[in-house]
Amino acid sequence: MLSKLLYNLFLVLYSCAIRVAAIANPKARKWISGRRSIFATINSKLKTQDSKPIWMHCASLGEFEQGRPLLEELKSQNSKAKIVLTFFSPSGYEVMKDYKGVDHVFYLPMDSPVNAKRFLDAVNPALVLWVKYEYWFYYLTEIKKRNIPTVLVSGIFRKNQPFFAWYGAIWKKMLESFTHFFVQNEESKQLLATLGFAGNVSLNGDTRFDRVLEIAEHFTPVAGIEKFCGDSPVIVAGSTWEEDEIELLHFVNVHKQIKFIIAPHEIDKTNLKDVKDEFPNSIFYSELENRQQTIDNGQPNVLIIDNIGMLSRLYKYATVTYVGGGYGADGVHNVLEAAVYGKPVVFGPVYEKFNEAIGLVKSGGAISIDGGPVKLETIMNGLLNDEAERKRRGEAAKQFVYDNAGASKKIMQFIQEKRLLTS
């Protein structure tokens, strides 16, 4: 089968590429080091388990945030349930390796027939939850051989994916491993129908709506932020890349009366230094406590977040929010984290792959900009100077989130009704 040959070639090339990248890339080095002796670690931690666990796989941190509400719903309704969580990417594993909401967190070993069998022998799950995407042929087909119920959470499908291409036979084979698909939009449902999947597909929305609501409704303050903001208008720019920072640079430099909180997407030392150099009138969050008196006297007005984990709470302090990623090929990051607090959301032009961003723009809660720094300044000034417009857009953003919540409970109801944990 040609598609299988191509897939196996991809696995070989990926493994080689990651090892080459590890020479200079810290994230690639973590990908490799985290998988050393992985089966010894897994077997050691699972050898005493007395029941079959639930296994959730997430590609990275963003997918975990989609799966998290469902995990917590499962735990709240069955406190004795054991849960194994796996990540493919270091950006998910390194942040969540100490997460207390599950029993074990592991890297997923690289896909292969041997690794898939060894992993499933060790974990022996009663139920598999696969979040959004990242399909691994040998894992999924081994799961199907063992008749383990498998549910896709918050799936999304597009015409240009390999499932729908002439070489897509192996990809369709992967889909046959799923007991049920919970998808985010009607297009995904229709595309699956073209492959013969209809009776086991549910249009269910995105579980991230549930997650951001949970964070907002159980908000805890971030130390030092309120004092930093004072009585000034505040722009919170989250998950920014260099392209976003270039767009923001002019606006930041000419508006000394505004407080800016910038949370770069990458927080390695090199990138943080670059961001600091771009915004000279700035300090790192880690310096905040020692510099508070200086800030009170008017300097600096830019706070750079040099950690991971607090961005979803920072948006609450904003007058207007900016979400990064919209100038890169991968597109805008999580706009819901900002919208849930009832704040207008601004982002770049690349968002067509993200239903939540599309919906937020249509609702009036967000503005997508594509015109350079001057256009950004015009939009930001308009929102900051027009309280009625700012309030209207903020309320629309918040209502959009509340209107689309509830996906996690629907999946939980399906699991219970189908008795997937008792079959």
Q: What is the DSSP string of 5-25?
A: HHHHHHHHHHHHHHHHHTTT-
Tell me the C-alpha distance between 401 and 91, whole Å. 26
Q: Count the domains in the chain.
A: 2
Paired strand residues for 382: none
Cα–Cα–Cα angle for 109, 110, 115, rounded to 5 degrees: 65
381 and 411 inside one domain: no
- Which of 372, 422, 409, 2 has its CA nearest to residue 214? 409
Could you tell me how far CA 285 lies from the centroid of its own chain?
23
269 and 138 inside one domain: no
- Which of 66, 353, 359, 355 has its CA nearest to residue 210? 66
172 and 260 inside one domain: no
Tell me the C-alpha distance between 158 and 414, whole Å. 25
258 and 289 inside one domain: yes
- Output the domain CATH number for residue 76: 3.40.50.11720
41 and 65 inside one domain: yes
Tell me the C-alpha distance between 221 and 241, whole Å. 26
- Between helices 38-46 and 113-123, what is the axis angle to 10°? 20
Q: What is the pLDDT of residue 295?
A: 54
Per-residue pLDDT of the chain (423 residues; tens, 9 = 90+): 678 888 999 999 999 999 999 998 888 999 999 999 999 999 999 987 878 999 999 999 989 999 999 999 998 888 888 999 999 999 899 999 999 999 999 999 999 999 999 999 999 999 999 999 899 999 999 999 999 999 999 999 999 999 999 888 999 999 999 999 999 999 999 999 999 999 999 999 999 999 999 999 999 999 999 999 999 999 999 999 999 999 999 999 999 999 999 999 999 889 999 999 999 899 999 998 766 555 555 578 999 999 988 999 999 999 999 999 999 999 999 999 999 999 999 999 999 989 999 999 999 999 999 988 999 999 999 999 999 999 999 999 999 999 999 999 999 999 999 998 875
What backbone torsions phi and psi does residue 269 show, to the nearest 5 degrees? -60, -40
Which whole-number Å values give the CA distances from 363 to 354, 366, 367, in the listed order? 14, 8, 10
User: Does 78 reside within a domain?
Assistant: yes
Cα dihedral 19, 21, 22, 26, rounded to 10, equals -150
Q: Locate 306 and state its tokens.
A: 């040099």
257 and 178 inside one domain: no
Q: Counting beta carbons within 10 angstroms of the beta carbon of residue 208, is it exposed (0 to 12), middle (13 to 18) or buried (19 or more)?
A: buried
Tell me the C-alpha distance between 67 and 207, whole Å. 7
Question: pTM to 2 decimals?
Answer: 0.88
Which whole-number Å values give the CA distances from 398 to 142, 164, 316, 394, in the listed order? 42, 36, 12, 6
User: Does 119 reside within a domain?
Assistant: yes
51 and 198 inside one domain: yes
Q: Counting beta carbons within 10 angstroms of the beta carbon of residue 118, is it exposed (0 to 12), middle (13 to 18) or buried (19 or more)?
A: middle
- Output the domain CATH number for residue 362: 3.40.50.2000
Tell me the residue range of the domain where 393 lies. 221-403
420 with 179: CB under 8 angstroms? yes
284: number of Cβ within 10 Å: 16
Tell me the C-alpha distance between 414 and 418, whole Å. 6
138 and 239 inside one domain: no
242 and 165 inside one domain: no
100 and 54 inside one domain: yes
Q: What is the pLDDT of residue 346?
A: 98
User: Does 382 reside within a domain?
Assistant: yes
